[in-house]
Structure 1
Amino acid sequence: MRILAFICILSLFSTAVRAQEADADALLRAAFDNWRAKSSDSEVTMTVHRPDWERSMSMKAWTQGDDFALVRFTAPAKDAGNATLKTDKGTWIYNPKLNQVIKLPASMLAQSWMGSDFSYNDLSKADDILTEYTHKLVKTEETGGDKIYTIEAIPKPDAPVVWGKLVVKVREDGVMLAETYYDQDMKVVREMTTEKVGEVGGRDYPLVMVMRPADEPEKWTRIETSSADFNIDLPSYLFTLSNLQNPRR
């Protein structure tokens, strides 16, 4: 029995040592680098499912660095032209029917985008989790031959964020597998899971990601990436208010 207990303790110690070898900050940065790269150009379909209806929208998305993102809807016709621009100066939306550009206050960035379960921050791939949270590696496991890391992110003091905690699962090659969102009372509010990983733009990538509210499991929103290019040159005018309203691309 003493030998068995010693083996169990040694096993737990070895697991802790292996966990310490991986850096939580670096793992999260790798996941965002894989997701966004230095720049990206992608085509995406978003499907919003509700118990009594379902609709799909197509969009083009561009990102550059940590601060710049542009997403423009291309279909269906009633949604085409709607766009969101994020820069280091703020976030704006454009409604082509009104021909109006509106700057969103920070308080609205966590709200639903186009009636989906994703927020403005989600679809612009905001990196608040990297800058406004402290990170701790809480679990390391192997699934299907891949090492999976679970990282807990806690807001820094006075950080301007809405979540009480985030828990992220990242594959060892930087593919994001899941993200669970907790409110200030540490209750799960929603969960995003990667349902398909495949190669796009020369890298393994979360091709299908689904967001589900915790208290309404019959509702979900699926994001499917059909094509993407990474680390490409993008024109300087792309992330401007002028291009948001009068698109050249």
Structure 2
Amino acid sequence: MNRVVMFFLATISISVFAGDASEILQNMKDAQDYKTSRAAYAMIIENKGKTTTMEFEGYHKKGEKDLQLMRFTSPPRIEDTAILIKGEKIWYYNKRSNRVRLLSKSAKKGSMMGSTFSYNDLNIDYVEDFTGEILEDEKDHYILKIYPVDRERNYRYIVARVNKENFIEERLEYYDKNEVRYKVMVTENVKQVKDRWTAIRVIMTDLISGKITRIETHEKSLDFDFEMEDSEFSEKNLKK
């Protein structure tokens, strides 16, 4: 086949895929269709043979702005330390210093509580924050290449493996500005809890340092669509 024709057909194919990607990103967002959610979690960090376990409670309310609150309950040295997310803004409350700090853009790229998750990883809207294209359309999965709208994110793009049945991301591969894969997130034990698809375990691996973080949901604590006032997600309320 003529090279020009082959290039033309390839270009058409990429354009069609790119158009379809936005619909998949919308479905990924819609898969989390609850108004509110809450659960208790364990965060286990493994690094150079040392294991650290932290427990926290997480709350999420959807609306004009996504509202999220993480309050750590153990170990005692970090008890009541909290992270508050309101749209693009993230606050960090340190119980030991009794100070609330609004994180800068550079600070949001940093490690969340010493884990392999950044603060930015906690605050993702697949529709507002990304554009993308379909790399592969498999029988049971889509493989997407998605680009952050905010160029100041840690990564240049993410390659996502998305389940076609529930639109849960089963694997995210993060690539840096030099297109080197440096971090991988996988979801495990995906199941329906109270009629909603949920990943009970999320694992983030730093491929450079070898550090691994697992966040495990205590399934019995998971709840959806209860009443929660916006005032619960206030900077003032962080100091309990």
Asked whether the two chains share a fold, i.e. TM above 0.5, the reply is yes
Aligned position for 2:215: 223
* Unmatched runs of 5 consecutive residues or more in structure 2: 1-9
TM-score when normalising by structure 1: 0.81
Q: Match of 1:137, as an amino acid? A: I
Instruction: List per-residue Cα deviations over 1:128-155 (Å, max 9, x = no partner).
Output: x53233111111223xxxx211111124
- My pick for the range that moved more, 132-141 or 68-77, is 132-141
- Contact 1:209/1:224 (CA < 8 Å) preserved in 2? yes
Aligned position for 2:92: 93
Say which SS state the counterpart of residue 127 (structure 2) adopts: helix
Aligned position for 1:117: 116
- Contact 2:18/2:134 (CA < 8 Å) preserved in 1? no
Aligned position for 1:7: none
CA distance in 2, matches of 1:36, 1:243: 26
Aligned position for 1:131: 128
CA shift in 2, pair 1:75/1:36, >3 Å: farther
CA distance in 2, matches of 1:119, 1:35: 21
* Unmatched runs of 5 consecutive residues or more in structure 1: 1-12
CA distance in 2, matches of 1:83, 1:71: 5
The within-5 A match list for 1:61-80 is: 61-65=58-62, 67-80=66-79
Aligned-residue offset at 1:90? 1.6
Aligned position for 1:203: 196
Aligned position for 1:239: 233
Q: Match of 1:126, as an amino acid? A: I
CA distance in 1, matches of 2:77, 2:109: 24
- Contact 2:115/2:213 (CA < 8 Å) preserved in 1? yes
Say which SS state the counterpart of residue 167 (structure 2) adopts: coil
Aligned position for 1:83: 82
CA shift in 2, pair 1:88/1:209, >3 Å: closer
CA RMSD of aligned residues (A): 2.4
Q: Match of 1:31, as an amino acid? A: M
CA shift in 2, pair 1:34/1:226, >3 Å: farther
Say which SS state the counterpart of residue 154 (structure 2) adopts: coil
- My pick for the range that moved more, 29-38 or 224-233, is 29-38
Q: Match of 1:201, as an amino acid? A: K
- Contact 1:191/1:214 (CA < 8 Å) preserved in 2? yes
- Contact 1:137/1:152 (CA < 8 Å) preserved in 2? yes
Aligned-residue offset at 1:229? 1.9
Percent identity, please: 27
CA distance in 1, matches of 2:41, 2:58: 7
The within-5 A match list for 1:116-195 is: 116-122=115-121, 124-127=122-125, 129-142=126-139, 147-156=140-149, 159-172=151-164, 173-195=166-188
Aligned-residue offset at 1:22? 8.7
Query: What is the total number of aligned residue pairs between the two structures?
Result: 223
Dislocated runs of 4+, deviation >6 Å: none
Q: Match of 1:189, as an amino acid? A: Y
- Contact 1:37/1:230 (CA < 8 Å) preserved in 2? yes
Q: Match of 1:187, as an amino acid? A: V
Aligned-residue offset at 1:20? 4.9
Q: Match of 2:168, as an amino acid? A: V
CA shift in 2, pair 1:36/1:125, >3 Å: farther
CA shift in 2, pair 1:162/1:36, >3 Å: farther
CA distance in 1, matches of 2:161, 2:84: 28
- My pick for the range that moved more, 22-31 or 42-51, is 22-31
CA shift in 2, pair 1:241/1:36, >3 Å: farther
TM-score when normalising by structure 2: 0.83
Instruction: List per-residue Cα deviations over 1:97-155 (Å, max 9, x = no partner).
Output: 11111111011112101111011122x3432x53233111111223xxxx211111124
Say which SS state the counterpart of residue 24 (structure 1) adopts: helix
Q: Match of 2:197, as an amino acid? A: D
